[in-house]
């Protein structure tokens, strides 16, 4: 199952975060692969992915060895700058973190063998190739060839976002 928790911050209340989440989910659902990932997490009855929607954190994923609970952290107001150029919406960050949930759900032993040390990159490359990139292509967003083609997570500070309220920015970034 997929459980979603909301943490107010950066001027956003629970309802704003809920709206941002629903907007991102609708957007991702327009991609076949994106819908598959959501459906697989929601329909699973034995393993639980908890999605923490928190505008003060970086988007990350955590799994404790041998646990059936996985934690995904998503910042709905951060954009992702990638090489050679392009900016992905926060919605792509969401599907990336949920993609890790799907990896744990479908191949936990494979994941745990690689979750520490050098081989961790294999998890990331698999997630970018099979989960993030198909959704990015469907939604006409820039893609990264390798996981490391990532420059950083940026707050909304580009020209396109000036003069908007924070709530508007959250929605706009997912269109
Ligand atoms: Zn990742």
Cα(74) to ligand 1 centroid in Å equals 11
For the stretch 138-158, pLDDT in tens is 999 999 999 999 888 776 655
- Listed in order, strand segments (DSSP E) in the chain are 2-6, 48-53, 60-63, 69-74, 78-82, 87-88, 150-155
Q: Measured in whole angstroms, how far is the alpha carbon of residue 10 from the centre of its chain?
A: 19
Cα(80) to ligand 1 centroid in Å equals 12
pLDDT score at 156: 64
Whether residue 33 is predicted with pLDDT greater than 60 in this model: the reply is yes
Banded pLDDT at 175 (limits 50, 70, 90): low
DSSP string, 85-125: S-EE-HHHHHHHHHHHHHHHHH-HHHHHHHSSSTTHHHHHH
Helix, strand, or coil here: 149? coil
Mean pLDDT of 64-68: 86
Mean pLDDT of 2-10: 95
What does the alpha-carbon distance between residue 51 and residue 159 come to, in Å, rounded to a whole number?
Answer: 30
Q: Is the pTM of this model over 0.75?
A: yes
Whether residue 85 is predicted with pLDDT greater than 90 in this model: the reply is no
Structure tokens at 84: 């050679």
For the stretch 116-138, pLDDT in tens is 888 999 999 999 999 999 999 99
Residue 28's closest CA among 18, 36, 19? 36
Cα(163) to ligand 1 centroid in Å equals 32
pLDDT score at 171: 66
What does the alpha-carbon distance between residue 74 and residue 137 come to, in Å, rounded to a whole number?
Answer: 21
Cα(96) to ligand 1 centroid in Å equals 6
Region at 167 (left for phi over 0; alpha for psi -120 to 50; beta for the rest) = alpha
pLDDT score at 157: 57
Banded pLDDT at 172 (limits 50, 70, 90): low
Helix, strand, or coil here: 48? strand
Cα(164) to ligand 1 centroid in Å equals 30
The secondary structure of residue 129, as a DSSP letter, is I
The secondary structure of residue 128, as a DSSP letter, is I
Structure tokens at 47: 């393993």
Cα(46) to ligand 1 centroid in Å equals 23
Whether residue 57 is predicted with pLDDT greater than 70 in this model: the reply is yes
């Amino acid at each position: 199952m997929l459980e979603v928790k909301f943490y107010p911050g950066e001027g956003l209340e629970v309802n704003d975060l809920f709206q941002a989440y629903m907007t991102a989910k609708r957007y991702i659902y327009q991609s076949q692969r994106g819908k598959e990932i959501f459906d697989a997490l929601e329909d699973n009855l034995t393993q639980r992915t908890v999605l923490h929607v928190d505008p003060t954190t970086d988007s990350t994923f955590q799994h404790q060895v041998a646990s059936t609970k996985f934690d995904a952290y998503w910042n709905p107001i951060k954009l992702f700058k990638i090489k050679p150029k392009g900016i992905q919406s926060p919605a792509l960050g969401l599907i990336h973190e949920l993609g890790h949930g799907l990896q744990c759900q479908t191949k936990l032993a494979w994941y745990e063998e690689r979750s520490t040390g050098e081989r961790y990159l294999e998890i990331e490359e698999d997630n970018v190739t099979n989960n993030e990139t198909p959704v990015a292509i469907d939604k006409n967003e820039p893609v990264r060839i390798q996981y490391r083609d990532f420059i950083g997570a940026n707050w909304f500070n580009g020209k396109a976002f000036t003069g908007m309220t924070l709530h508007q920015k959250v929605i706009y970034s997912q269109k």
